[in-house]
Chains A and B, each alone.
Chain A
């Protein structure tokens, strides 16, 4: 299985939206290689015909899709790092 190189790790960090330092990238690549090597033990298991398990519940339970008032705008904005006129404020989205 994969020996994680710095280049692959940088790609993964971009997907994960983590601006890692060069040192973090190096040490995480090392750790990940070790963990994935450990996970190689799963390769020897015969999984033919075995379905994947995503959840341990007995089945889906849905409530009726009815609007309810759960959180006021004021409460929703209370923890926001920056907001204006009742909206979340963020840096430039397009370009740059």
Chain B
């Protein structure tokens, strides 16, 4: 009997469709692995095992009746707890949304379900997707399956941990400054942040609306291509979703990388990359060159300003988006005597009780940079630097097809290592943030190990070049020998 918890997405779907197994058996295998291995990892914030089982049985019944169950038939998926799934609470890793039952379903979930995917659980995350370690979850951090004393990354840490540990064949995360790619790198899985507008954000709790994008975390680029082909495309409920036709992401995967121009911004990489990470990166680039890829030097002169720019732009948008949590229509309402006095007191007390320290820090920073007297010096200036960062990419893509960097400057760090200094935590995103500011897509693929911990390589491409990124990612996997490594749990 196959171990379905190590199988790829299409392997599962094909076997379910061909009745070599059933959706019920696949789901049971994953629930069994979750029951046995999840406790120290804490990858989930919400699960309804009976609902998952019932959905699997219903799918099997459809197959028995001869219906087409879809491209993702019976494939278990973990969903970041910022995305609305009907029947399960959306907590966003926050006390303020602890009891929130979404009244509608996210477009991505609707699309995945219509192709036969089965939601196995809501994945742990940093509160409101603010963090790079999952330590900002109000319900306790998720841990890295490769080393339980280390963080899985964030903010989609539970999604990455779930896929790495074999609790789900695929997961959805959201990426505002690296929140899909960074945890994917730290947990040794593939993570793709699509072009801004490629995937509908309807049903994703907003953090920074001009930067947020939903994307897949999987154990291969092939699986990521498959998931993206299901969730991508215009949506009437998201005015920023693009009307461009969706490319065939799976078809071109096996194209050789011969002639692919890979840009490497050597100057930018001088900023504090761990030597073990750099060695794996250089080795992979050399191997790609041997396969016929052309390595070209590119410059991203404004990229070192991306972190500062990001924290002014993203917090400004967050302070505005999170104004909706006011204890009136949904979410936590403080019930102290102070909170009962007036509406204004109720707002302040509820928000102080409901939000965690990092969320408050960002609301305060965002409110400050938008406030009268400071707007021009901070927010407007950051928006202009954002233009320069986008122009850097446009210039670079005139001479290359993709840009390669390590995904993160270091491998997974220890829990508690960076919590005392918010700035140090922010710097974990130095290589991922520029793509969000420019609105272009990026993928992280595993490219080796340093001291037993996974190292991720990131490719960033021009807008809507996801097919090229997936093909480059697939080539890296091929060079590494194909099947992804599994953590020793």
Interface residues of A (CB under 8 A from B): 1-2, 4, 9, 12-13, 15-21, 24, 28, 31-32, 34-36, 38-39, 41-43, 45, 47, 50-58, 60-63, 70-71, 75-76, 78-82, 88, 90-93, 95-96
Contacts and interface: CB of A to CB of B under 8 A. Distances in A.
A14 to B, nearest CB: 8
25 contacts: A15-B367, A17-B344, A18-B348, A18-B351, A19-B348, A19-B349, A32-B364, A35-B365, A38-B307, A47-B385, A50-B384, A51-B384, A52-B387, A57-B240, A57-B439, A71-B103, A75-B103, A76-B103, A78-B103, A79-B99, A81-B330, A82-B333, A90-B346, A93-B342, A93-B343
Contacts of A58: 197, 242
B388 A45 contact: yes
B482 interface: no
Interface of B: 99-101, 103-104, 196-197, 210, 236, 239-240, 242-243, 302, 304-305, 307-309, 311-312, 319, 323, 326-333, 338-349, 351-352, 355, 357, 360-361, 363-365, 367-368, 371, 374, 377-378, 380-388, 390, 422-423, 438-440, 463
Nearest to B367: A16
B236 A18 contact: no
A54 B347 CA distance: 29
B239 A79 contact: no
Nearest to B390: A53
A28 B328 contact: no
Contacts, number: 171
B197 A57 contact: yes
B101 A79 contact: yes
B368 A12 contact: yes
B381 A38 contact: no
Contacts of A96: 341-342
A47 B240 contact: no
Contacts of A53: 383-384, 386-387, 390
A56 B438 contact: yes
A4 B378 CA distance: 14
Contact of A47 (B332, B344, B384): B384
Closest 5 CB pairs between A and B?
A56-B439, A19-B348, A52-B383, A79-B330, A81-B333
A79 B331 contact: yes
Contact of A15 (B371, B377, B463): B371
Given A17-B347, A18-B351, A52-B383, A24 B360 contact: yes
A41 B197 CA distance: 30
Contacts of B236: 63
A42 to B, nearest CB: 5
B438 A42 contact: no
A72 to B, nearest CB: 9
Nearest to A32: B365
Contacts of B242: 57-58
Nearest to B244: A58
A38 B381 CA distance: 14
Given A18-B364, A90-B343, A79 B329 contact: yes
